[in-house]
Amino acid sequence: MNQTASSSITEGVALIMLDNPPVNALSTPLRQGLQSELAQAFRDDQVHAIVLICAGRTFIAGADITELGQPWQPPSLPDLCAMLDAAPKPVVAAIHGTALGGGFELALACHYRLVAASARMGLPEVNLGLLPGAGGTQRVPRLVGAEAALDIITSGRQIKAKEALSLGLVDAVADDQSLQAEALAFARQVAAEGGAKPRIRDRTDAIESDRNRPDIFTTFAMANARRFKGFPAPAAIIEAVQAAVTLDFDDGLAKEAALFERLLASPESAAQRHVFFAEREAARVPDIGPETPTIDIAAVGVIGAGTMGGGITMNFLNAGIPVTLVETSQEALDRGIATICRNYEATAAKGRMTAAQVEQRMGLVSPSLDLAALADADLVIEAVYESMDVKTNIFARLDRIAKQGAILASNTSFLDLNRIAAATSRPEWVVGLHFFSPANIMRLLEVVRGTATAKPVVATAMRLAKRIGKVAVLSGVCDGFIANRLLAPRGTQAEAMMLEGTPIDEIDHVLVDYGFAMGHFQMMDLVGLDVIGRNATERTVMGDLVAAGRLGQKRGAGYYDYDQKRRPHASDLTATLIKEIAAANSVAHDPTAGDAAILARLLYPVVNEGAKILEEGIALRASDIDIAAVLGYNWPVCRGGPLFWADQIGLDKIVADMRRLEALHGETFRPAQLLVRLAEGGKRFGDRS
């Protein structure tokens, strides 16, 4: 018997219940179960209407992503939609939770959609490098017109019940508590009224006026060119929606199917699907399970109201958790609080928050100049200046103040957490919580496990991350932890190539072509050269630029000159400085030629560092390293992260290239033992995950 679908009949309505935890993904058994229940209900003379509903926390979350890439076992999802199109009786989808991707497409193939007030729906396939492959690109425009459809499908956004109703995507909104009863009543009424079976495929009213407007599609593509760069899915979505407008329904479906297959085979989609699962896998820590106790975090303390401390505080306020924010001077405290408030007001000005919400969040923060105010906090996060002395001093004081059972966390980005923990009498309660700037926005949270950190502390930190909307990646203690350590060699190589005579705009454009939002030197200019400020012992280009007042974009000049529109232009002054400093440091003129060579020089050392992080046991798995790069450093999602990308190239090729680079540029390029071992065994990083 198929466990995933069952039905019961009451007063002439068949209620088909789908039950495939945790999110009712349309796996083969579920599709088969649904097919057989539908067929049965179609045949049964006692049944005059059908309600499709899901058990558990949500309606169908889409195709089963683990099955994508394998041939559909019948029935395919499009087969099921065709079956619904041909249904002899009205079918009502009753939606709660989220109806996503193939789940929403299935609902669109039903005659009616009734949604719970808290439900959301959407077509997030674009985030997996795909397009909706079960009629979504054809049915949505028929309901909302081409322009709204383009927005919905290329953004993958989730639409709330109320908006879905006003857009015409659904027929009615039900009370959360009585969705099933209301759906049954709705179906009974439709049946009583003669069993109308309105099919979206038959409608053309919403797309009529789009027929002679090919400009809609070109304009949309151009307006979003920056956002879509590097991703093939949006262009395919535009093509499919255009097909909905210009072709008849079946031809449009055929076009959609062909485009779906093409995207499914693309490396970008493979990379995006890898990132989807990697993000979820990161939450798993082998020696921590549901049996590990966790600590309830009801009150948080943050030490330091600077940029990091303020951003960290906002995460908790957003989640409704009160924060006591401690600083050493009234001025710094006022400034920190004012910045938080300004950030919220800016969000409110964009219409993404109400004034009441701003007030409510600001009401959760208690400013203080006294560390003793943290006595009741369940979690204290230190976010002060990166100095071991300052931090150990704070932790020693905190040890005397914080209540027993409180978690003491440091936001250090490279210092030895074990030394910080040793400043307390309770190192098992000390953990690293390394946020990335801007801390209220970047989704990565490195949870740094010290040698003594207790399991419940790690378990709490991992769980808390999810509560504040972060993705936690567990890291061991090392200089720079995962993300900073991983990316450091990219900067080192960019600067080395610069001194050897490779133009900086060439280096940057290779990174941008690869998919990064900006190149290394553009990023330096954006952050501000004075902010990055290094304690170099020898003369450096950056040091000289700072001395010349070229602090970066904010001053209109840094590595680059910037015009009024903040566009970078190569600078003669920088070029002269580079030559001078190269000569002073005896760097031979030997520019790296060709995009591929520049890319290998920049990114192979990153792959190598990833291998070292893995073999040292700093990261649990290769996919964690990818997630740290994607979420901490905006590594292009369409590349899947450095180690996934390396797997795509082939580790044997990378090792061979690195040996060649080692001969030219020295030890930095010596392949890590793990990399060599995997390459020799014909394996990939992914095989270790």
Binding footprint of ligand 3HC on the chain (CB under 6 A) = 22-23, 25, 61-66, 77, 98, 100-102, 105, 124-125, 128, 130, 132-134, 280
How far apart are CB 103 and ligand 3HC at their closest, in Å? Answer: 7
Dist CA 197 CA 91 (whole Å): 8
Smaller CB separation from ligand 3HC, 260 or 604: 260
Enumerate residues 6+ apart whose C-beta is below 8 A from 226: none
How far apart are CB 156 and ligand 3HC at their closest, in Å? Answer: 8
Smaller CB separation from ligand 3HC, 64 or 647: 64
Verify whether residue 105 is a known catalytic residue. Answer: yes
Give me the catalytic one of 11, 37, 67, 105. 105
Q: Which of 488, 434, 476, 484 is nearest to 620 (CA)?
A: 476
How far apart are CB 24 and ligand 3HC at their closest, in Å? Answer: 9
Smaller CB separation from ligand 3HC, 10 or 66: 66
Dist CA 631 CA 280 (whole Å): 13
Smaller CB separation from ligand 3HC, 64 or 525: 64
Enumerate residues 6+ apart whose C-beta is below 8 A from 231: 126, 129, 268, 638
Q: Which of 687, 514, 683 is nearest to 606 (CA)?
A: 514
Smaller CB separation from ligand 3HC, 499 or 631: 631
Residues 409/379, Cβ–Cβ less than 8 Å: yes
Give me the catalytic one of 11, 67, 125, 345. 125
How far apart are CB 281 and ligand 3HC at their closest, in Å? Answer: 7
Place of tokens 């789940």: 103
Verify whether residue 125 is a known catalytic residue. Answer: yes
Q: Annotate 31-73 with three-state secondary structure.
A: HHHHHHHHHHHHHCCCCCEEEEEECCCCCCCCECHHHCCCCCC
Cis status, amide bond into 75, omega within 30 of 0: yes
Q: DSSP states of 354-399 as a string?
A: -HHHHHHHHTTEEEES-GGGGTT-SEEEE---S-HHHHHHHHHHHH
C-alpha count within 13 angstroms, C-beta hemisphere, residue 394: 28
Smaller CB separation from ligand 3HC, 33 or 124: 124
Enumerate residues 6+ apart whose C-beta is below 8 A from 428: 452, 453, 454, 457
How far apart are CB 132 and ligand 3HC at their closest, in Å? Answer: 4
How far apart are CB 203 and ligand 3HC at their closest, in Å? Answer: 20
As given in the structure block, the two tokens for residue 552 are 């970066």
What ranges make up the beta strands (E) of 441-481? 444-448, 471-475
List the catalytic residues: 105, 125
